[in-house]
Amino acid sequence: MRISTRINGVARQFDCQPGDTLFDVLRRMGLRGVKEGCDREGTCGACTVLLDGKAVLSCITPAPKVAGREVLTIEGLGDVASPHPIQVAFADAGAVQCGYCSPGMILSTKSLLDRTLVPTQEQIAEALSGNLCRCTGYVKIFDAVRDAAAALQQEKKDNER
Amino acid sequence: MSADRTRDLQVVGHSVRKVDSLGLACGQELYVADYATPDTLVGYVVPSPYAHARIKRIDATRARAIAGVHAVLTHEDIPRIAHTTAGQGYVEPSPYDNFVLDSKVRFVGDRVALIAAETLEIAEEAGKALDIEWEMLDPIFDPDHAMDEGAPIIHDEPEAHMPIPVPYDPKRNMAAGANMGDGDIEQALRTSPKVYSRDFSTQYAQHCPIEPHVTLGYLDARNRVVLITSTQVPFHARRITAQAVGIPVKRVRVIKPRIGGGFGAKQEVLLEPLVASLVLATGRKILMQLSRAEEFLSRTRHAIKVGIDGGFNEDGTINGLRMRVQSNTGAYGAHALTVMCNCGSKVLPLYRMKAVAFDAKAVYTNLPVGGAYRGYGATQAAFAMECFLDEVAEDLHLDPIEIRRRNHILPGEGSPVFAALGEGKPGVEQKIGSSGLAECLTLGAKAIGWEEKRSKPGTGTLRRGIGMCALMQGSAIPEIDLGAVHIKMNDDGSFNLTCGATDLGTGSDTILAQIAAEVLGVDETEVLVYSSDTDLTPFDVGAYASSTTYLSGEASRRAALAVAEQIREIASEMMESHPDPATLVLKDKAVVAPDGSRVTLGEVGLRSLYQANQRQVAATGSAISHKSPPPFSAHFVEVTVDIQTGQVRVVKYVAAVDCGTAINPKLAEGQVEGSVLNGISYALTEEYQFDDKGRMRNTGFNDYKIFGTQDTPEIQTILVPTWEETGPYGAKSVSEICINGALPAISNAIYDAVGVRLREGPFTPDRVLAAIRQKA
Ligand code: FES
Ligand code: FES
């Protein structure tokens, strides 16, 4: 089956076999920031990407489901030459230890901060509840989300001026 | 004291950004699986369905005929070489009881055969197509009966042996034994006014790195086996792989890229020999990645029973303690001896006593295999010791903090345990150089509100309780562990730092860069770190035993000092007055003379490589340690216990930690927070459930719960700076100690809340409720 979609802002077409998940397809395209940490049973969050701005687990998302929609992976958010403020906040807050959970965490954060720039602790914990991290104890991840929110707020203010 | 010495530091002691963090946050840093190419085959281990059985006959003809199968290896196809998977120094203090493949399986999930195929589905199909005639053997699951007369013998193969002279008796399922003592424990117990005896037990658990074990292997153009692997121990992985598959060490190259967490699980040389075998058989590139379910059956935390008998005076001072340890090492003895010995050596020296005894055994069972796990025995034994002390304090009407204050070891003091208990041989005597434990106790108590909140459980459904504990660990294995770092200078005055030390997310690359940068008078961003590649980087034992900051950090300091000396000589040649090099100071990316003359490091670099008296400015620093200075910590926790459901919730957790100088406070805090939450998760939810056939039933995150964001309580870290004379810039270790506190602190807090003692983990609602009902 041939599927047309937009990935990281670019129109893409791909072939998919029956049973292919979005995860399979993204990895095949060389998007290596999408990670796998459970047996693709949707329990770790390492494979999180944004589908039309909403965080989804790519390992349990059937590939055909993205037809005509917009996928954002960590590669599309920013790179080291021009990182997104959330990526910078994670790096600066000490929220990245092994980093294996980070792409998923950061994309879940993006989907939260697209909705609100003044998230409560409960909202943060809720938004990241599907993303497991074994390294950090989440403390610095919560810090990073708040720092990112502040940075984005500042950015917004600067833009309005 | 420590503040005076750290005040002028420019890089050390500062929370600089972790060098790889932005690349990780952008998804650009690469992990093992990211190196796979489209032609890579899948490596697969056919798991044993039985806990104890012999393969009488195995026929792979049908499996090999399946389209897309490139190799099927059974025990008949490869050399049979006894080795240990424990990634320890040579000679490993673990029994050689493991084979790449064997004619016997010893637990459910053990290796039956290896397959290389185009896809995982094909490999699994081939596994099912193996024609196997089994001889079923009686399994033994209960560690209490593993050494009984007539119990099934798990390692009846003639090759099983212990490579060092310590008690090992596979015919009785004994994987290790250790005894030590100092003073007359019997007399101490007989004559003490107060004598107590309690027994505790801890459960099986898994590290759960979010990236499971994964190894990619191929043959390079010189017919060498290259392994890109998720390991904490690249050099041990090289040595043990070569040994296990029967090829020379020089034919193996191990590369460690970014690692998705380890926590001890990856101190095991587990997949590397399997992948090497398949690479040699096929000549193809092979990627073997454990599924989450398989990861649970890779290596675990040893389930250990710890009993303590103690003789006390009325004032709470200790006359003597005896610790009795029974460790369940499962089907293989990896780390059996050393984890068990750590129960004593990382817990008993925390307190002063006149007599001490340690009596330990590790037994084989047909269950998943124990291994290295952050805390490494100290976790299990600290639970026993710190709950025990809480009970004693209560009986003696002493505040739990006070009983620790009256007994804990102080700077300048030693412990007979240090000298008596090493890694399968006597340990190394040492006196405590630095300790901030007294301050940890004070600051932690204040932060949790000890005085105000203790012993006020309230009366509703939700009862509140406060608990605490004190902890120690070590920093490196003395007289054994080696860390080495190489630094060379570039033509712009930047440096390459290569090391075998293994950053598995801990931030050690950054820590080593900070230490070198401090010596060289530059920002850490001028020091480009590369770790680890056995072809390119100097040796290091790897990331375990809380050694990296202390040991590899010292190696980094030494390498940088030697480089700095070379730089001073060149700078002196360049300066008109040719000042004595010893008077020159490296700072702000330059070399400065007392008279104010100055050359930049860039000028030094250019001259050294292109202009005059050319030579490569470079040096290697090596460090071994003659002691293992303990970090200390005091943990305090506030919990609620629902007396209707038995549900325990942590409201707030305070960890006050003395890790010497924190080279990077933010990263040190991260180590504390991560280990604290792992500890809480272990204390409250994590455990293996087995059926009566020895099959683990909860092999996924749905049934084996690890804490997520919504379970996380407020965690407060208090770093209490001290200065460890033998560590780089006063540093000790930080990464392991804080995983040990949650079990005892929470158990003690539950007692404060509802008056029941939980001596067995985890503290699930069922267990807590049963204890509450039993009391009522
Ligand atoms: S890989 Fe674990 S949730 Fe998708
Ligand atoms: S940083 Fe390692 S799993 Fe989150």
Sorted by where each starts, the structural domains of chain B and their CATH numbers stand as: 2-28+482-624 (3.30.365.10), 32-137+207-296 (3.90.1170.50), 433-475+628-776 (3.30.365.10)
Residues A70, A89 within the same domain: no
Contact status, residue B407 vs residue B694, Cβ threshold 8 Å? no
Same domain for A19 and A71: yes
Average pLDDT for B87-106: 97
Contact by Cβ (8 Å): B663, B13? yes
Question: Can you give the pTM of this predicted structure?
Answer: 0.98
For B361, the enclosing helix (H) or strand (E) is strand B355-364
Chain A residues whose CB is inside 8 A of the B717 CB are 139
Number of A:B CB contacts under 8 A?
182
- Average pLDDT value for residue range B525-533: 97
Where in the sequence is the domain holding A133, given as residue range(s)?
A: 85-160
Domain boundary among A76, A108, A123: A76
Residue B3 pLDDT: 74
A70 and A114, same domain (yes or no)? no
pLDDT tens digit string along B422-449? 877 788 999 999 999 999 999 999 999 9
Predicted-complex ipTM score: 0.99
Are residue A8 and residue A70 in the same domain, yes or no? yes
A44 CB under 6 A from ligand 2? Answer: no
Q: Are residues A91 and A129 in the same domain?
A: yes
The C-alpha atoms of residue B744 and residue B683 are separated, in whole angstroms, by: 9
Provide the chain A residues 88-107 that lie in CB contact (below 8 A) with chain B: 88, 90-94, 96-103, 106
Q: Is residue A68 domain-shared with residue A96, that is, in the same domain?
A: no
Q: Is the pLDDT of residue B286 over 60?
A: yes
Q: Which of A45, A76, A107 is the last residue of a domain?
A: A76
* C-alpha pair distances (Å), B133 with each of A80, A83, B64, B104: 56, 58, 18, 12
Q: Is A139 in the pocket of ligand 2 (CB under 6 A)?
A: no
pLDDT tens for B372-426 read 999 999 999 999 999 999 999 999 999 999 999 999 999 999 999 999 888 777 8
Residue B542 has pLDDT above 70, yes or no: yes
Residues A96, A126 within the same domain: yes
Burial B27-43 (b: 16+ CB within 10 A, else e): bbbebbbbbbeeebbbb
Last residue of a domain, one of A30, A52, A76: A76
Our measurement of the distance from residue B161's CA atom to the centroid of its chain's CA atoms, rounded to an integer in Å, reads 25
CB B537 within 8 A of CB B530: yes
Task: Answer whether residue B69 shows pLDDT above 70.
Answer: yes
CATH of the domain at A38: 3.10.20.30
Ligand found nearest the CA of A27: 1
| Angle, CA B774 vertex, CA B770 and CA B775 arms, to 5° | 120
Residues A99 and A35 in one domain: no
Is residue A62 domain-shared with residue A99, that is, in the same domain? no
Whether residue A6 is found in the same domain as residue A66: yes
Is A94:B36 a contact under the CB 8 Å cutoff? no
Q: Are residues A65 and A99 in the same domain?
A: no
User: What is the number of domains present in chain A?
Assistant: 2
Which residues of chain B lie closer than 8 angstroms to A140, CB-CB? Answer: 666, 669-670, 673
Residue of B nearest to A101 (CA): B210
Residue A139's CATH number: 1.10.150.120
Q: Return the structure tokens found at B36.
A: 């796979």
Average pLDDT for residues B721-731, to the nearest whole number? 97
For residue B36, is it left (φ>0), alpha (ψ between -120 and 50) or beta?
beta
Residue B88 has pLDDT above 70, yes or no: yes
Angle A30-A32-A36 (CA atoms, 0-180°, nearest 5)? 125
Residue B132 near residue B105 (C-beta atoms within 8 A):
no
Which of A101, A131, A138 is the pocket-test mutation for ligand 2 (most atoms within 8 Å of CB)?
A101
Could you tell me the pLDDT band of residue B546, with boundaries at 50, 70 and 90? confident
Which pLDDT score is estimated for B145? Answer: 98
Per-residue pLDDT at B1: 53
How far is A33 from B103, CA to CA, in rounded Å? 41
Give the rounded percent of residues in chain B with a pLDDT score beyond 90. 97
Residues of B in contact with A93 (CB under 8 A): 666
| A101 in the same domain as A36 | no
Whether residue B224 contacts residue B247, with contact meaning beta carbons closer than 8 Å, is answered with: no
pLDDT of residue B54: 98
- Mean pLDDT for chain B? 97
The β-bridge partners of B635 are B469, B655
Q: Please, which pLDDT band fits residue B576 given cuts at 50, 70 and 90? A: very high
| Residue B458 CA to ligand 2 centre (angstroms) | 38
Contact B675, B736 (CB under 8 A): yes
Average pLDDT score over residue span B571-581: 97
